Structure 1
Amino acid sequence: MTMLEPPIATRIPTERTHHGEVVIDDYAWLLDKENAETVAYLNAENAYTEQATSHLEGLRETIFTEIKSRTKETDLTVPVRNGGFWYYSRTVEGAQYPIYCRRAVVDGETEPPIAVDGAPLDGEHVLLDANRLASGHDFFALGTYDISPDGNRLAYSTDFAGDERFTLRVKDLTTGDDLTDTIDEIFYGSAWSADGSTLFYTRVDGAWRPNQIFRHVIGTETSADVLVFEETDERFWVGVGLTRSERYLEIDSHSKITSEVRLIPADDPTAEPILVRPRQTGLEYHLDHQGDRLLIVHNEDAEDFALAWATIEAPGEWHELVGHVPGVRIDSVDAFAEHLVISLRKDGLTGLRIVPNDGEPFEITFPEPLYSVGLGANPDFHTEQLRVGYASLATPDSVYDYDLASGELILRRRKPVLGGYDPADYLQAREWAMAADGVRVPISIVKRADTPAGGPVVLYGYGSYESSMDPWFSIPRLSLLDRGITYAVAHVRGGGELGRRWYEDGKMLAKRNTFTDFVACAEHLLSTGWGDRIVARGGSAGGLLMGAVANIAPEAFTGILAEVPFVDALNTILDPSLPLTVTEWDEWGNPLESAEVYRYMRSYTPYENVEAKQYPAILAVTSLNDTRVFFHEPAKWIARLRATAPGGSYLLKTEMEAGHGGRSGRYDAWREEAFNLAWVLDRLDLAK
């Protein structure tokens, strides 16, 4: 077989001047996915990558088989009661997507019905079979799955390209037929009026910013839909939903640093929206409704947020309910008839605090040193049991019901892992690295208990948008752990693991902390005996992290896996016509207006800082239809690496029918992950 040469992208220097400095973009021509030359180049890259990794074909198939054999393919989620029905979804062996179902509640039934080996429940009614919807398409995703309060209608939206632009339809659940209502080009989310006659939905502008909320009366022409709210400030997104009580429709307008909420009575959908409190730069708040009051989580004079209440009549007058405690980040509040649930984080872990209407607050405790816990689906406002989701790096996803009267945690289901998996075979640990400025950075670690110290490590990181990489369980990860690899997560600044300050210290003009924290974590693992070689992994903004550390400390890594990586950040943030750019200025700064921001971003963005030096092997994975991080970013990055630092192994793999999350079907996603893991194992000299 003739070996292919790495594709060489044509260099067409394009000059732009900002703040007196010249930016030269050699590969701007790669931006257009409709251009035949661009598509041909991406196909050539795919062919080269396939050939360069052809020796891993057998290993990829082995890993895919491992993932598949450990997964219970025919399975059923724990049913959730809402009104007179139990709602659940199930999967069937050989089918890519879930089937969404419900079953009527039998008289006197209080416990969720149990399926036998994932079989359909007796009396099952299929609401939506995603496999039928996806038939004939290479990609499929649901954007909205919203059942009306009376249980008679289902609003659902579909995307067949991966660009997150959805078509909405309404199904009559009493007949099983789709109604004539069809609305194209909408965003995620929807909300029903109390009587199910009216549906609210969101549209986007030309920059893919959700900016409009419309009201649609079922059975009418969409041309008659009414614009309820329009957000004209390009920094803000809008969304719509229902409070837990289903008494109010909530229109949420927010930027990265500021919030503004409006309410509409759900039983009066044509009413004028009620403004809770006018936007004030830097003030963030979100809310829920309980009885005659609103519960408001806010950061007014409270960096880690506090909880207040207000009356419906005077929603902008807030009264303290739970005061601010530095280091205890209040994430959200969920209101029920007889209690509140506060989702929080402290000491780097998530938690749930129950606040009874007439009792003392308390928190649910768990025994593992590292874990994630959060509320599951709890549609019943008057529930006496809370549905809770739990997982750790070693414990599979678990569903509990917490009995509010007895305090008992009832395990309803733990995700099956076939083949004799035992969590006791795995060790979890928390380490702390010392950053360059003396700050301690947490690292979560998992490995097999019998894996000797000092071996190969995979280090994952993200570090943006206050998103926390809380411990999660992964069946595919077992294919690494069981081959003697230690898996670690670097909780770098820019995330939210240690509260709002942790986020603030890793954004804007402090963004470099994200990158140096990750390098410090890698050096800590190597110097303290956890490992002797590291492959780094990250995606999206975590892909920016991957590109940055490749420039900063290439010698620290044996390989770098960058998925849908935001590596051309400066050029993207300089172009306000692109999706997300204007809304992102509160995260990264505005380099168009500020010379300081411009020069700071230029000092770290991966594409701008590729140098003529030795880099670790790099695999960049992207998708042609990604709206969040355009495919051209990794394509340009790999092209510049090849031109500037020749001699390294730089691979680009583009999914031609996918979006930001990659392939959509579960079997396709497993094959994609098998490809990535085989490459990782090869870089760690474990490709056997």
Structure 2
Amino acid sequence: MNEHLPHSIRSVAPELPVKHQHHGVTRVDPWHWLRERENPNVLAHLKAENTHTENWFARTGNLRDEIYQDLIGRIEQSNCSAVYPKGDYFYQSRIRKGQEYRAYYRKQRLIKGDWELYFDANEESRGEAYFDLGLLDISPDGNILAYSIDTAGEESYILRFRNLATGEDLPGRIENTCAEGEWDASGKNFYFVMEDETRRPDRIYRHRVGTNPGDAELVYTEADPLYYASIYKSQDSQFLFAVSESKETSEIHFMEAHIAKGKFQILFPRRPSIQYSVDHHEGHWLIRTNEDAPDFKLLRLPVNETGLQTAEVMVPPSDKVRLNDLLVLKDFLLLFEQTGGLDRIRVKSLRGEPEHFIEMPDPVYDLQESINAEYDTNFFNFTVSSPIRPSSTFRYNLKTRQSKLLREAKVPSGHDPERYTTYRINATGEDGVRIPVTVVHLKALGMDGSHPLYIHAYGAYGETVECGFRTSWLTWLERGFVVAIAHVRGGGLLGESWYQDGKLEKKENSFRDFIACADCLIEKGYSKAGKILIEGGSAGGLLVGAAINMRPELFKAAVATVPFVDVVTTMLDPSLPLTTIEYEEWGNPQEPEVFRRLLAYSPYDNIRETEYPALLATAGFNDPRVPYWEAAKWVAKLRKNQKGKNPILLKTNLDTGHSGASGRYEYWKEIAAEQAFLLTAIQPLDVPGS
């Protein structure tokens, strides 16, 4: 411990032990008091931790600022999005150097004229420490803008309506809404979703624009605490769909979008572990479902029928191809599929022409649908990038099969993709399962075990870590690092079974897979123990926390952003935002078996006296997903049990939530701090520990 550091930042947080007793197990939590958000001592402690972290960074010299300048030198500080059509207008967003947020423009399609600014997030955010734009949706007649904003990071949005002819907001506003909503066909009524006291989206309202928002009509309610409500509109704008959904089950209701006072009718009722998503095409429902199809199939059913027994199978189930989503156009059906760990787009003609696939440029890539707002069109916009190639947005002609480049991202400071290589290898898990690892590095790098290694992972909710281009990772690549993405179980890279094998009672597979990936990269000569940096956020922070408990000697340093690390305590508290709807992912610890299972891997509950790697944990004080106190308690306990000299640091953003800083420059400052921390660990400067 360094005597020149003030006592308040050398010490572990004060201990005020609280006993928790569940299922015959007593847990003593000395830092339970950090949950007391309104306690002035809590805020004082978080500020002291922030001061400690800033003092630590001050001793790294200019490294953080140098990395920040490198990072912003790689982004296009002034840029325009690809243009897309919708209704009578073309739309585009823009941002200029020095601006934190985007501005939104439109111009008429059939009349020559200038672009019209209809929403400037920079003006709207003036004076706010945090600003997130939830929805931005113009009515079908082009006259009224519905928009919602969050200025606290709590993911609770204020909904307003703006007359685009005058630029003035209509009277009234609606608070505590979600970041979603839909217009009816007339543009006179707007449907929005509201949350309950635990932030669970549970109600859908209909607001007639121009009337008192307080008179909005409740049209749909979801009472089950395991489910949340949402709303969307068919691609042809003919139907509105109200969805009740848990992590494993869904229920679909529908309403004709042109009926001003319509009522939602049940289409497909909930059945355990059966999921649906529905669209409409020429008098038929197109139904994506996992019934007897773990990786989903596509059915077609006339709208006057509701039973699936007579439905036509358009895309049969497959054990090699997962149907992730679909886009329904008048003459074409675009199927977003996943096979062999890669996304692809299959184009299926609805007029009898042969189907085909859209070709991709690299062996490892990230494929994203761009904005496609029209139904009667032969064009489709998509964006593709790879770990070594910046993103390009294309407009694809579905008839001629030709692509037109709409926008190509640039790296202003310079980037040559040909200097790098990217590919996949497989690690072998403890149970013999092959775990894909995406690897990126300079072509000239020899695999002699001497290189520092950066590993990123997530491994939850069936989400696949995108293998796209990240300018921030050039920080590692240009310094001779190997960069790897560990596609552990619990993610979705290899389909539904890959996800199911890393959740609930099989959750620890995610952690063992991650360690197996690190061991494999060592065995194959990419790096060695003690030269490995790891990073993960939210559920990926859980992965980091579990890994450093299991094999602390393997890793040199870690960054865990908004980490889910106090698993048992959080999941035992149904009053916390979103806890109940997470039961199907993690389990309900009110059940003794689940309690013991979570207790066996919860990072906070499994800290021991040992030499831990250097750690930077970050939190958002207003985070509704992972409470700030998880990271704060975790750091306090780690610091008390740390037997080595590696620093254990905490940075809490007191103005934000789960996603960190909202402005782009502030976001890059956060990334620069994380990278400076990791670089200092792997290339030590004369920096004192915590």
Q: TM-score, normalised by structure 1?
A: 0.96
1:290 matched to 2:281: yes
The residue number in structure 1 matching 2:326 is 333
Separation of aligned partners in 2, 1:269 and 1:480: 55
Residue 347 of structure 2 is matched in structure 1 by 354
Aligned mate of 2:56, from 52, 61, 66: 52
Of 175, 200, 207 in structure 1, the residue corresponding to residue 198 of structure 2 is 207
Distance across 1 between alignment mates of 2:77 and 2:322: 38
In the TM superposition, 1:391-402 aligns within 5 A as: 391-402=385-396
Question: C-alpha deviations, 1:80-123, integer Å up to 9, x for none?
Answer: 0112211010001111100011122246x9xxxxxxxxxxxx60
Q: Which residue of 2 aligns with 1:17?
A: 21
1:179 to 135, 153, 170: 170
Aligned to 1:511: 507
3-state SS of paired residue (1:397): strand
Paired with 1:322 and 1:517, the residues of 2 have a C-alpha distance of 33
Is contact 1:333–1:343 with CA below 8 Å preserved after alignment?
Answer: yes
Map Cα deviations across residues 426-446 of structure 1 (whole Å, 9 max, x no partner).
110211000000000000111
**Corresponding position of 1:435:** 429
- The answer for the alignment partner of 1:370 in structure 2 is 364
Q: Aligned partners of 1:221 and 1:267: how far apart in 2?
A: 22
Query: Given that residues 244 and 381 in structure 1 are in contact (C-alpha distance below 8 angstroms), is that contact kept between their aligned partners in structure 2?
Result: yes
How far the C-alpha of 1:172 sits from its partner, in A, is 1.2
569, 579, 583: which is aligned to 2:577?
579
Structural RMSD (CA): 1.4
- SS of structure 1 residue aligned to 2:389: coil
Q: 1:663 aligns with which of 661, 664, 689?
A: 661
Q: How far did residue 667 of structure 1 move?
A: 0.6
Shift of residue 76 of structure 1?
0.5
Q: Which amino acid aligns with 2:501?
A: D
Aligned residue in 1 for 2:682:
684
Does residue 29 (structure 1) correspond to residue 33 (structure 2)? The answer is: yes
Conserved? CA contact 2:228–2:246, under 8 Å? yes
Q: Which residue of 1 aligns with 2:5?
A: 3
Deviates more, 1:326-335 or 1:543-552: 326-335
Counterpart-to-counterpart distance in 2, 1:645 and 1:557: 14
Tell me what 2:608 maps to. Answer: 611
Shift of 1:421: 1.3
Aligned to 1:134, which of 120, 125, 128?
125
Residue identity in the other structure for 1:412: L
Mapped pair 1:315 → 2:306: yes
1:32 shift after superposition: 2.3
Does the 8 Å CA contact 1:287/1:333 hold for their aligned counterparts? no
**Alpha-carbon distance between aligned partners in 1 of 2:411 and 2:281, rounded to the nearest angstrom:** 40
Q: Deviations over 1:412-457 (max 9, x none)?
A: 1111111221111111021100000000000011112233433001
1:471 aligns with 2:467: yes
Q: 1:501 aligns with which of 493, 497, 502?
A: 497
Q: Distance in 2 between matches of 1:190 and 1:56?
A: 47
The correspondence of residues 167-566 of structure 1 with structure 2, limited to 5 A, is 167-317=158-308, 318-357=311-350, 358-453=352-447, 454=449, 455-532=451-528, 533-566=531-564
Cα shift at 1:25: 1.9
What do residues 11-68 of structure 1 show as CA deviations (whole Å, max 9, x unaligned)? Answer: 1221122111112222111112222100000001011111122223411111111121
Supply the distance in 1 between the matched residues of 2:11 and 2:327 (Cα, whole angstroms).
Answer: 53
Q: Are the aligned partners of 1:351 and 1:374 in contact in 2 as well (CA < 8 Å)?
A: no
The residue aligned with 1:143 is 134
Q: In the aligned structure 1, how far is the partner of 2:292 from the partner of 2:609?
A: 48
Residue in structure 1 matching 2:630, options 595, 612, 633: 633
Partner amino acid, structure 2, of 1:624: F
Q: Secondary structure at the match of 1:659?
A: coil
How many Å separate the matches in 1 of 2:305 and 2:24?
51
Question: Is 2:595 the counterpart of 1:598?
Answer: yes
Match of 2:153 among 149, 162, 166: 162
Structure 1 position 664, deviation (Å) = 0.6
How many Å separate the matches in 2 of 1:470 and 1:297?
Answer: 23
CA distance, structure 1, for counterparts of residue 369 and residue 158 of structure 2: 29
Distance 2:37 2:260 in 1: 42
SS of 1:333's partner is: strand
Seen in structure 2, the aligned counterparts of structure 1 residues 554 and 275 have a Cα distance that, compared at 3 Å, is same
Amino acid at match of 2:466: D
Please tell me whether the aligned partners of residues 307 and 321 of structure 1 are also in contact (alpha carbons under 8 angstroms). Answer: yes
CA contact (8 A) 1:6 1:45 kept: no
Counterpart residue type for residue 447 of structure 1: H
1:624 to 610, 614, 621: 621
Match of 1:116 in 2: none
Deviations 1:614-653 (A, max 9, x none): 1111110111111110100010001111223344421101
- Structure 1 stretch 451-460 or stretch 192-201: which is displaced more? 451-460
CA distance in 2, matches of 1:46, 1:386: 47
Q: 1:310 to 1:7 in 2, by over 3 A?
A: farther
- Per the normalisation by structure 2, the TM-score is 0.96
Which whole-Å CA distance do the structure 2 matches of 1:199 and 1:568 have between them? 40
CA contact 2:427–2:517 (8 Å) conserved in 1: yes
User: Is the 1:296–1:309 Cα contact (8 Å) retained in structure 2?
Assistant: yes
**Paired letter, 1:69:** G
Give the Cα separation in 1 of the matches to 2:514 and 2:17.
Answer: 33
Q: In structure 1, what is the Cα distance between the partners aligned to 2:233 and 2:290?
A: 22
Supply the distance in 2 between the matched residues of 1:63 and 1:291 (Cα, whole angstroms). 54
SS at match of 1:418: coil
Which SS does the other structure have where 1:53 is aligned? helix
**What letter matches 1:635 in structure 2?**
A
Contact kept, 8 Å, 2:612 with 2:643, in 1: the verdict is no
Cα distance in structure 2, aligned partners of 1:343 and 1:6: 53
SS in 1 for 2:540: helix
* CA distance in 1 between partners of 2:684 and 2:373 (Å): 47
What SS class does the counterpart of residue 452 from structure 2 fall into?
A: strand
Compare 403-412 and 42-51 and name the one that shifted more: 403-412
Counterpart check, 1:38 vs 2:42:
yes
